[in-house]
Amino acid sequence: MTVSNDSPEVELNIALLIDADNASPEHLDEVLTVLAELGEINIRRAYGNWAKPALKSWGALSGKHSIVPVQQFDIVKGKSATDMRMTIDAMDLLYRGHVDGFGIMSSDSDFLPLAQRIREDGLPVYGFGTAKTPESFKQACTRFFDVAALANENGDEDEDKPADGKKEVDAELLHVLGNAYKASKRDVEGYASLSEIGQRAKAVSSFAVRNYGFTRLSDLVRSLDQYEVKDGADGRLVVKRLR
């Protein structure tokens, strides 16, 4: 019998940890969709005091999406022990060595040290929160996703979107892409590799194409009047800054 040397591609094992006290269940579908593109979400846990009426919606989703609800009582009034429990479990998973990446669904900056520690071990951390999430936590993540932007990408209404359906481009995006373009190798005509620009832009963890209503970097850059995108000599896309 001949044994094939070909082995199936192994999916990354992703752990999704949800701070139910600081995350809305309305955006769970979008979070699962993004993480599914990165690997297999084999570990799914939501943390909170499930006696609270505010978490009722999370409880209803636990069975539907195979999420393990982790109970954490509020030991002191006005204080939540959820963050500590979630951090302890994350470190436990990290040291077991069977997880290839983490998704943290929260808008709480208290998870900044956790994200930093996980990345020190070379594992990616994907943050999911609101636009009001503190910048420190966004930057600590390998990639941070604005859950509202993910929902808009799937067709939800957004009053801030222009009539063409695209999210209005902000100064931060132009700044990130501008720096990435300037740092990239350019030919005599000023064209740089789109893939290189993308890699350099991703060094800024808060940058994610999905945050601007697109799934591909090429479509995002094409939507900007400041840049021209075309096919290069080798068939790969190149970009030139016009202004």
Confidence of residue 41 (pLDDT cuts 50, 70, 90): very high
- Give CA–CA dist 14/19, Å, rounded: 16
Are 86 and 59 contained in the same domain? yes
Tens digits of per-residue pLDDT, 205-242?
667 887 787 888 898 899 888 899 999 888 889 999 88
Is the model's pLDDT at 174 over the cut of 90?
A: no
Residue at a domain's end among 153, 181, 203? 153
| Domain assignment of residue 79, yes or no | yes
For residue 57, what are the contacts with CB-CB under 8 A and spacing of at least 6?
25
Whether residues 53 and 100 share a domain: the answer is yes
Say whether both 43 and 149 belong to one domain. yes
pLDDT band at 76; cut points 50, 70, 90: low
Amino acid identity for residue 215 in this structure: T
Residues 94 and 208 both lie in one domain? no
Q: How far is CA 143 from CA 31, 115, 188, in A?
A: 13, 11, 33
Same domain, 185 and 231: yes
How far does Cα 32 stand from its chain's mean position? Answer: 11
Ramachandran bin of 236, using left for φ above 0, alpha for ψ from -120 to 50, beta for the remaining angles:
beta
132 shares its domain with 25: yes
- Among 153, 180, 209, which residue terminates a domain? 153
The string of pLDDT tens digits covering residues 109-132 is 899 999 999 999 999 999 999 989
Instruction: Please indicate, yes or no, whether residues 48 and 94 belong to a single structural domain of this protein.
Output: yes
pTM of the model: 0.71
First to last CA, the chain: 64
Evaluate whether residue 200 is within a structural domain: yes
Which CATH number belongs to the domain containing residue 223 in this structure? 3.30.420.610
Q: Are residue 145 and residue 192 in the same domain, yes or no?
A: no
CATH number of the domain bearing residue 142 = 3.40.50.1010
Q: Note whether residue 3 is domain-resident.
A: no
Percent helix, strand and coil across the chain, each to the nearest 5? 40, 20, 40
Could you tell me if 95 and 192 lie in one domain?
A: no
**How far, in Å, CA of 116 to CA of 34, rounded?**
21
Helices and strands (DSSP H and E) totals, the chain: 9, 9
Based on the fold, state whether residues 131 and 202 are members of the same structural domain. no
**Nearest CA to 102 among 87, 118, 88, 116?**
118
Look at residues 153, 182, 210 and tell me which one is the last residue of a structural domain.
153
Establish if 227 belongs to a structural domain: yes
Domain span holding position 204: 171-241
In a domain, 8, yes or no: no
Are residues 118 and 179 located together in one domain of the fold? no
In a domain, 165, yes or no: no
Largest CA distance in the chain: 67
Sequence-separated (6 or more) residues with CB below 8 Å from residue 211: 145, 146, 149, 167
- Tokens at residue 134, please? 């503190």
Report how many domains make up the chain: 2
pLDDT band at 75 (very low <50, low <70, confident <90, very high): low
What would the DSSP string read from start to end of 27-74?
A: GHHHHHHHHHHHSEEEEEEEEE-TTSGGGHHHHHHHHHTTPEEEE---
162 is a domain residue: no
Q: Are residues 129 and 24 in the same domain?
A: yes
